[in-house]
Amino acid sequence: MDADDCDPTLLQVGIKVFCVTLPSYTYKVIHTEVVPVRSLDGKTVFGSGQLERLRTTVKQVGASFVFTSLDILKKSQIGEMEEAFGCKVLDRYSTVLHIFRHRARTTEARLQVALAEIPYIRYRAPGPHEKALVEVREKKLRLALSRLSGQRELLRKNRNKSGIPTVAVVGYTNAGKTTLIHSLTGDSRAEGRDQLFATLDVTVHGGPLPCGLSVVFVDTVGFIQDIPTNLVASFKATLEDAILADVVIHVCDVSHPAHENQATTVAKTLASLPLLPETPVITIANKVDRLDHNTQQLLGDVLAVSATTGQGLQTLLELVESEVLRVTGRKTYKFQLPTGSDEIRWLRGFVGLAKEEVDASNPQVTHITTVLTKQQLAQFGNYCRLRE
């Protein structure tokens, strides 16, 4: 069940109700409609006549679940609908949480999901004692996450200290971010899955640019339209790597019928983050292999790629390289060095080589092309002087 089926403009006049079945743990939408309501603040959502009409519809279509495109329903509101419909009723918050629980694999992801559940539990806590217990649990979860956040910060500082540039890959959930990283780096740990929120943890994957420079591609949690504020806050730590990246790649799944709305959602989320003004954001149109030729022509100037077939990936790497060199102050340098020399080995091990070619007329000389910061160039100069 895709979040894009929920049009936020419709919520101004009503709520959108989905009737779904659940064969083999897969949601299948079998009926959808917009239902006008007078108010969402009362103990019940619908009047008796509206509720009876919906009850008849749910029975007729044979729904196993009813999903309402609202953030958090009151306990009394859910109770009224479940009694009338004779099946489980889910709101938007519980649905996203359900997906998160099944996707969380690491300790940090599980802690973040548990923290995201706190507002939901607090909202339904029956009395002061239960609310106090919720507060205690929230403090413990925040403390545990704080400790893990400290470890993440240490790892980030080590990456920065090594001088390895960072490229954050962001996008709507199931846009193909992980598959793209796998195709760019060859890292077997980055294996994409065709499902919502397949990635809840930030993972890093090293790979070379065409110039030989090693960079780290950061896989981030997918975005979603109208995601509840508390869920965003709980996963804020996973977005910090995007905030601090040298370059951001925004992956759009152009094969999705609502890809324009998805792209807008991601753009708004990025705009809400304290990204540095100079951080370049490269937007790409992914999954173009699923489009016919005429539809591809409508993409305009957006870089068209396919993470599965490899279309456009070399161009993407070259574009990423151009931006990385620009924002990190690196430049391309060419050297003529003795073949097999320690200087070549130093460059190869320290920064990587874009090109290494033995001179055809003089095998004792090798032409080297590499990229260096001013500091690295000075270090290389000092190393060469010490070798003299």
d(CA 281, CA 169): 10
Q: Do the beta carbons of residue 45 and residue 67 sit within 8 Å? A: no
> Is 177 known as a binding-site position?
yes
Question: What tokens does 284 get?
Answer: 């790409």
d(CA 269, CA 220): 13
> Is 221 known as a binding-site position?
yes
Q: Which residue has the tokens 């969380």?
A: 104
Q: Which residue has the tokens 């997906």?
A: 99
> Is 171 known as a binding-site position?
yes
> Is 178 known as a binding-site position?
yes
> Is 201 known as a binding-site position?
yes
Q: What is the per-residue DSSP string for 217-238?
A: EEE-PPB-TT--HHHHHHTHHH
> Is 176 known as a binding-site position?
yes
> Is 289 known as a binding-site position?
yes
At 230, give phi and psi (nearest 5°). -65, -30
> Is 220 known as a binding-site position?
yes
> Is 200 known as a binding-site position?
yes
Exposed e or buried b for every residue in 142-168, given b needs 16+ CB within 10 A? eebbeeeeeebeeebeebeeeebbbbb
> Is 307 known as a binding-site position?
yes
Annotated binding-site positions for GTP? 171-178, 197-201, 219-222, 286-289, 306-308
Annotated binding-site positions? 171-178, 197-201, 219-222, 286-289, 306-308
Annotated binding-site positions for Mg(2+)? 178, 199
